[in-house]
Amino acid sequence: MEVHHHPHVEKKSFKEYLLEGLMIFLAVSMGFIAENIRTYFEEKQVEREYIESMINDLKVDARIIQGCINQNSQTHLRYADSLIKYLDREKWGDIEKAAIYLYGLRAILSNTLNFSNETITQLKSGGGARLIKHRAALDSIMAYDHSISYLERMNNIYIEARGLVNDSRARIFYAKSLNFPPDVISLGIPDINPLSKISLNDNKKIDWLIKNGKVNMLIVDNDPKDLNEYINKVKYKRDTIKNYLWLLQNTKSQSLRLIQFLQKEYHLENE
């Protein structure tokens, strides 16, 4: 019978096994490190993109906040103050009644805003907040989000105040539209200051109401309780506008400070 002998295999020494194991370990470790480095730079890029988007949102916010400040301070608060000035007079003659009627039409208006909160929403709901490694930056962004939330609640209070004035006014004043002639509605002066134009238009309307015997039809409910309630509602709305303006100004200042902080910390000053 023919006998087959297995080839002799030289056994590896312990050092050789150790070296092979070390090489495998190093290869796995280097792959792991390379993956971590790649992930790190990808996340840094995404973080930078979040910050750039946040800065753009803040710039938009600052612009719309300033527009809202202008509208409320130059129109709504101004008319509320003028209306209260006439409401607080001891006696109401034809001028007072006409002014109260006209300014009261403005008192049922309001101007609120919506914010560009897309980036903050992504940070909060999409897990983006974990990518913001700069703790102070993340804290500042979340503080700004808190201010926005508070201001949005104030929006609702403002709208509610407008509704209260409107409901109260509806019981007191003539509801049908008055057909002012074109020369009373529009002054036709293109270069005049908008605020002065508003005042001149109001004065022309007041004169027209008095001259055409329309004043006595303007107030349909002389009940002192209803009138007193209306005055209180108008004053409440005036105070609400003042608080709203204060919050708007503070939020705008916060947005501008946050823009500067983020640009500095992420070296985006020149972008």
The per-residue pLDDT for range 106-132, each reduced to its tens digit, is 888 888 887 777 787 777 776 667 778
**Distances from the Cα of 69 to the Cα of 104, 106, 112, 239, 248, angstroms:** 21, 17, 9, 15, 7
Mean pLDDT for the chain overall: 83
| The length of the chain, given as a count of residues | 271
pLDDT at 195 over 60: no
Nearest to 266 by CA among 43, 44, 37: 44
pLDDT of residue 232: 97
Tell me the chain's radius of gyration from C-alpha atoms.
Answer: 35
Provide the pLDDT for residue 45. Answer: 77
| Of 54-58, 96-100, 186-190, the least confident | 186-190
On the question of pLDDT at 207 being above 60, the answer is yes
Dihedrals phi, psi of 33, to nearest 5 degrees:
-65, -45
Distances (CA, A) of 156 to 145, 149, 162, 247: 17, 11, 10, 14
Can you give the residue ranges of every domain in the chain? 14-178+214-265
For residues 78 and 192, which has the higher predicted lDDT (pLDDT)?
78
Tens digit of each residue's pLDDT (9 = 90 or more) over 217-248:
999 999 999 999 999 999 999 999 999 999 99
Q: What are the distances in angstroms from CA 205 to CA 12, 73, 140, 182?
A: 108, 23, 50, 11
Bigger pLDDT: 184 vs 76: 76
64/184: higher pLDDT: 64
How far is the C-alpha of 108 from the C-alpha of 102, rounded, in Å?
11
User: Which segment of 87-101, 107-121, 139-153, 231-245 scores lowest on mean pLDDT?
Assistant: 107-121
Q: Using an 8 Å Cβ cutoff, are 252 and 197 in contact? A: no
- The single-letter code of the amino acid at 59 is K
Ranked by mean pLDDT, the top range of 6-15, 107-116, 194-203, 260-269 is: 260-269
